Amino acid sequence: MNKSLSSLVTQLVASPHEHELVEFKHNYHSAEEIGEDLSALANSAKLQNFEYAYLVFGVEDTTHNIVGTSFDPYKKKAKGNEDLIPWLSRFLSPKLAFKVDEVTMETGERAVLFTVPAALNNPVTFQNVAYIRVGSYTKKLSDYPEEQAKIWRKQATDWSAAICEGATISDLAPEALARARELFTIKNPKLADSIPTWDDVTFLNKAKLSIQGKLTRTAILLLGKPESDHFLSPANATITWILKDAHNLEKDYEHFGLPWLLAVDAVYAKVRNLKYRYIADGSLFPDEVDQYDPYILREALHNCIAHQDYSLGGKIVLVETEDATLTFTNSGDFLPKTVAHVIEADAPEQRYRNPYLSHAMVNLNMIDTIGSGIKRMFDIQRKKFFPLPDYSIANNKVQVQIIGKLLDVAYARKLAQMPDLTLSEIILLDKIQKHQPIESDGLAGLRKKGLIEGRKGGLSISSNVAKQTNLKKSYLETRGLDDKHYQSLLVDYIKKFPRAKRVEIDAFILDKLPQALDESQKQNKIKNLLQAIKKQGLVKTTGRFWVPNLDVI
């Protein structure tokens, strides 16, 4: 084996110069550099239609002389003192099955050979960034949009369209097949008289669940019996629902297998969709609404199914918390540029991870039209004055959080009384109510319109807006009053309840402090207020108690 590897290294160095499929290094420089090279080599091999690319240590990159290396990939540590090889594997996505060999050359020099397989379904990223080889250099793939487009055009055959060899109608659940006919009829009312006359094979072909009578992975995924999931291996055909309390402790869970056409209804039934009653506020708000609009719940779950990267073997997970949040998670990166791009473009994307599955779901009335659901989810939450859907895209996973309650009354009132705000402005304001960072240019636009005030980290509804929209009370709740007001409250409390413990003082004053402050900031403010009135001689401490200074008050 070592002899064949030494021959391979000899062949690689015989090339007159480095190119897209080979990178030479004398010795180790950094773990990050290796990770970027592995991403670049995998993506370049995909582009060049080669099965493998190579990273070779122990070779001078200019002369191609084999000089040997002291680099030991199995002893070298990466950040956090983690072993190099598992560290690299952890940050490469999708998982890259690269191989590392130590090679003794015939002349005695020691080399290290990384054999890097070509990317498969998606460009390989390292720490969420994709790279590519340009000549003998490693560059960011995003800087070369034409090459990036070529990789997507070379994407492997649609996973969802693959034929499940040996699968027959008997592997489908009869109740799911019957439900599929009902949904297909709803979607295609003009065919209502013809559909009952079709046999099962004809129906499956028409609904794009089978190809010339052969069942696809899409058919098994949506209509298959539970025991038919072996046709999808190594994909994990499981949807998991988890219920957690407000402290993030798990209280209940359930796993749902095939057929997913029916599993979606079962998952939907598990969610505690309670009625949300608004604060009494004249005619600004409706009396009550469902915490989670049924469309949003189903759309988010269907999106997970349609866009899951099944090659990664992950489950679809829905976490429900008792403080009115739902978090949907599926495996795979987010194919559109950004969520904002999807909303602003308001048009279907040009590519999909599972086109065959997506079109079948359209045919079965599971999703309206491909690419239109995200903006509708935002609009539904906007009209209820609830926080907008919150997307998190990292570590080859897409998470969508839906909040089924008001977070900030001032925010909700502003939306109700300023209906001309654009969706882009509302998205920025939504981030402010969630205390999330936003770009400086976005802040500038909101300030220019007088919608916000305060510095980064303490942004809140503008006082001008408060006056315009009769939100003075809400403004005071958010921005608060001056320190003298709070000091007076504390002095009155300690005077009325001598020997007050700090925990009792906190309980009294916390909900009166500005909503713009987080918990830590509120604690610091209370500490400063107490020290101020102590310095003024109005109160003093006796052991663990705060007491009035009777010589003064």
Greatest mean pLDDT among 24-28, 176-180, 508-512: 176-180
Residues 6 or more apart in contact with residue 448 via CB below 8 angstroms: none
The Cα 73–Cα 4 span in angstroms is 20
Task: Dig out the tokens for 428 from the structure.
Answer: 């920025």
The verdict on whether omega for the bond into residue 259 sits within 30 degrees of 0, i.e. cis, is yes
What is residue 472's predicted lDDT score, i.e. its pLDDT? 44
Ranges of each domain in the chain: 2-154, 160-232, 409-479, 483-548
Which H helix or E strand runs over 254?
strand 250-256
- The per-residue pLDDT for 175 is 98
Written in H, E and C, the secondary structure of 92-130 is: EECCCCCEEEEEECCCCCEEEEEEEECCCCCCCEECCEE
547, containing H or E segment: strand 545-548
d(CA 55, CA 38): 8
CB 227 within 8 A of CB 176: no
* Closest CA relative to residue 60, chosen from 5, 118, 136, 126: 136
pLDDT on residue 451: 75
The residue that leads in pLDDT, 169 or 312, is 169
pLDDT of res. 369: 59
DSSP letter at 441? Answer: H
3-class state of residue 515 by DSSP: coil
Q: What is the mean pLDDT of residues 532-540?
A: 91
* Average pLDDT over the chain, rounded to an integer: 86
The dotted CATH code for 2-154 is 3.30.950.30
- Residue holding tokens 């939504």? 430
Q: What is the mean pLDDT of residues 316-320?
A: 97
Tell me the torsion sign for CA atoms 62, 65, 67, 73.
positive
Beta-bridged to residue 317, according to DSSP, are: 240, 329
Whether the full predicted model's pTM is greater than 0.95, yes or no, is: no
Give me the pLDDT at residue 101, please: 93
Q: Please, what is the Cα angle at 534 between 532 and 540, to 5 degrees?
A: 160
- pLDDT, greater one: 430 or 550: 430
Scan for tokens 């719940």, then name that residue.
297
pLDDT tens-place string over residues 422-464:
888 888 888 878 878 777 767 777 877 777 777 666 676 554 4
Q: What is the pLDDT of residues 184-226, one digit of tens each?
A: 999 889 899 999 999 999 999 999 999 989 999 999 999 999 9
pLDDT band at residue 327 under the 50/70/90 scheme: very high
**CA torsion sign, 369 to 375 to 381 to 383?**
negative
**200 Cα distance to chain centroid:** 38
| pLDDT tens-digit readout, 104-163 | 998 899 999 999 999 876 788 998 889 999 988 899 998 888 887 777 666 556 889 999
Which pLDDT band holds residue 465 (cuts at 50, 70, 90)?
very low
